[in-house]
Chains A and B, each alone.
Chain A
Amino acid sequence: MQPAEQRDEVEMLALMLLIRRFEERASQQYQAQKIGGFCHLYIGQEAVVAGAVAATRDDDYIITAYRDHAHALARGTNADACMAELFGKETGCSRGLGGSMHFFNRSRHMYGGHAIVGAHVPLAAGMAFAIKYRGEDRVTLCFFGDGAINQGSFHEALNLMALYKLPIVLICENNLFAMGTSVKRSTSLKQIVDRAEGYDIPGEIVDGMNFREVRDKLAEIVSSIRKDPHPAFVEIRTYRYRGHSMSDPASYRTKAELEKYRLDDPITRLRAQLTREGKLTHEQFDKIDKQAKETVLASVKFAEKSPEPPLEKLYDYTYADGAKP
């Protein structure tokens, strides 16, 4: 396993660019009606998952909600399999049976992709429970949005995590809106991180537009959890540039607010940091970006020419033993 501190920052920047270009292309393909159902884009939030991946090992468990394309990509799921899943193709990361909201990658320890708000937080508790049950030093990373923190499942799970001292980092990606409802209209708290206090779980606020801050803060937390299993909570303040889903024009917020965050773009910021420190030239950046665009374009071609899941396999994925009801 690659220790976190060795993960190259330029590679992490490349990951963030891949996520952004993937989402831009997904948006375009959605508009071209190549992608069905709901489609939630991660644009603007890239530093959160990149920072988390940079702070953890490849065998740590990751689970998230429905804005999940980035988490699958960050865990090394190739863009082809991700795009093919959006297209509903058999070559997709969930064989075309999951769709945008249900990306899974067992071999990379990416446990979904869950579309009922808050319902995966108890699952994360179970994954962390299993780590402790087996006496391993892995950590579970459970991502969720600011909308999840008012669900009963979230509260029940946090109590269980604290009670059983489970090795888990609760990562609240606070992008300020649960669909169209702002945090201040949904949540009776001065700040989201205070939720953790009610369960005796330590909590911190992190700037989600700053890759290095996310990585360093999470690395510190994860290291303390590996030594002594316990839950920890981070409220990562971020922003999604697009609407809640493809069908949302996001008219509940102002242009000025969006512009303010765009000026603090996580990719631009990491790029500037690396450039200033002489670790990245403009030519190198352009090359990385070009590579990301090409990878994503190739993934569209791959998805287009991939086969549909065969009709005769319709009943093959209901029971693990092929039982017929």
Chain B
Amino acid sequence: MREITYRQALNEALAEELERDPNVFLMGEEVAEYHGAYKVSQGLLERFGPKRIIDTPISENGFAGLGVGAAMVGLRPIVEFMTFSFSFVAFDQVVNNAPNMFTMSGGQFNIPITFRGPNGPAHQLGATHSHATEPLYANAPGLKICTPATPRDAKGLLKTAVRDNNPVLVLEAELLYSSKGMVELPDEELLIPLGQAEVKREGSDVSIICYAQTVQLALAAAAQLEEENISSEIVDLRSIKPLDEKAIFDSVAKTHRVVIVEQDRPFCGVGAEVCYRIQKNIFDALDAPIIRVSQEDVPMPYNERLEKAVLPNAGKLIAAVKKVCYA
């Protein structure tokens, strides 16, 4: 193990998969000569050449669809969206073509494509650039969605996504790109299965269910809560779809209290689905109503103070935990 950044972890995952399989290629805006808007593809053009590291014009619908078509005939494209907020321009390709093809063709055409890029609010990017897209895509059957929160998960999940035979969205986070963490050495194959949550911290009083950017938030809150003698278990979903119900239920059966902290909006958000499944399956295990901490239901304001007010934060999360613990 050694410590690397989330950005380096993604870069290693891309390089290893490009090296392993000649059918893999990376395509997107500024991925080649500019080395990626967030430098995730640094050095890949020099190593793999312009045939496999491909700059595109600003045509998300066009190049996302090109990726799906290439996947129909056996290539394994990795399509980068500069941010998933821009993926809306390609929405038809991502929700209508990629995941429907396998069904519509009666199982003749699976689409082994990876769509990746930063997702979720960053810092003062305003309404158009701050979308957390996961609930929208989670509503489309046929897609798989993962949301790595650490460098290790970023590498292991991206590599698995590239090898998966279905369309997979790897939702990264701009605010995590420079974060550091321990990751296996490059000569150790690191594959993390989709649909497998991870308990990032064990605890006994409350389950805090989180993913992506809210994992660090939950860990920080847990440290603070520990000082007040509240022991939090942090369950990082890692994948939104498939959803690891077992890991969620196991934790809830242990703590009997749940707070879900998510980076998306409240209405039909990821937490709504998680919450529904908990009450439906293990209602008797609950000692308190579940509370969700999410964004406020407004388009993201530019103003820094208002943006902070919209986002989930440690204060909101701690208050929610205390409420479910009647503390």
Contacts and interface: CB of A to CB of B under 8 A. Distances in A.
Interface string B179-208: 000000000000000110000000000000
A27 to B, nearest CB: 23
The A contact surface, by secondary structure, is mixed
Given A123-B68, A319-B142, A323-B144, A159 B57 contact: yes
Interface stretch (B9-17, B103-111, B150-158, B318-326): B103-111
Contacts of B102: 317-320
B217 interface: no
Max chain A C-beta neighbours (<10 A), residue from B75, B241, B243: B75
Max chain A C-beta neighbours (<10 A), residue from B51, B106, B112, B141: B106
B68 A61 contact: no
Interface in B210-255: 241-243
Contacts of B71: 126
Given A104-B109, A119-B92, A159-B57, A320 B165 contact: yes
B61 interface: yes
A163 to B, nearest CB: 7
Interface in B55-111: 56-57, 59, 61-75, 77, 92-93, 96-97, 101-110
Interface residues of A, number: 48
A133 B108 contact: no
A106 B70 contact: no
Given A130-B74, A133-B75, A156-B59, A122 B51 contact: no
B50 to A, nearest CB: 11
A127 to B, nearest CB: 5
The 7 closest A-B pairs by CB, nearest first: A126-B69, A122-B65, A156-B62, A95-B106, A123-B69, A320-B110, A126-B70
Contact of B65 (A93, A96, A98, A121): A121
Interface of A: 61, 63, 92-98, 102, 104-106, 111-114, 116, 119-131, 133, 152-153, 156-157, 159-160, 163, 316-321, 323-325
B57 A160 contact: yes
B165 A119 contact: no
**Looking at chain B, what size class is its interface with the partner chain?**
35 or more
Given A102-B105, A126-B65, A133-B75, A321 B96 contact: no
Max chain B C-beta neighbours (<10 A), residue from A125, A160, A319: A319
Interface string B156-179: 000000001110000000000000
A92 B66 contact: no
B166 A122 contact: no
Contacts of B69: 63, 111, 122-130
Contacts of A114: 97
Contacts of B68: 122-123, 126
Contacts of A128: 69
Contact of A321 (B51, B56, B104, B165): B165
Nearest to B243: A325
B51 A119 contact: no
A97 B106 contact: yes
A94 B141 contact: no
Given A129-B70, A156-B59, A160-B56, 8 more contacts: A94-B106, A97-B103, A104-B104, A111-B73, A126-B75, A153-B65, A160-B62, A324-B242
Contacts of A121: 65
Max chain B C-beta neighbours (<10 A), residue from A112, A122, A127: A122
A153 B242 CA distance: 30
A125 B103 CA distance: 22
Contact of B51 (A120, A133, A318): A133
16 contacts: A94-B108, A122-B63, A122-B68, A123-B65, A123-B72, A130-B74, A133-B51, A133-B75, A153-B61, A153-B65, A157-B65, A159-B62, A160-B66, A318-B102, A318-B103, A318-B141
A157 B62 contact: yes
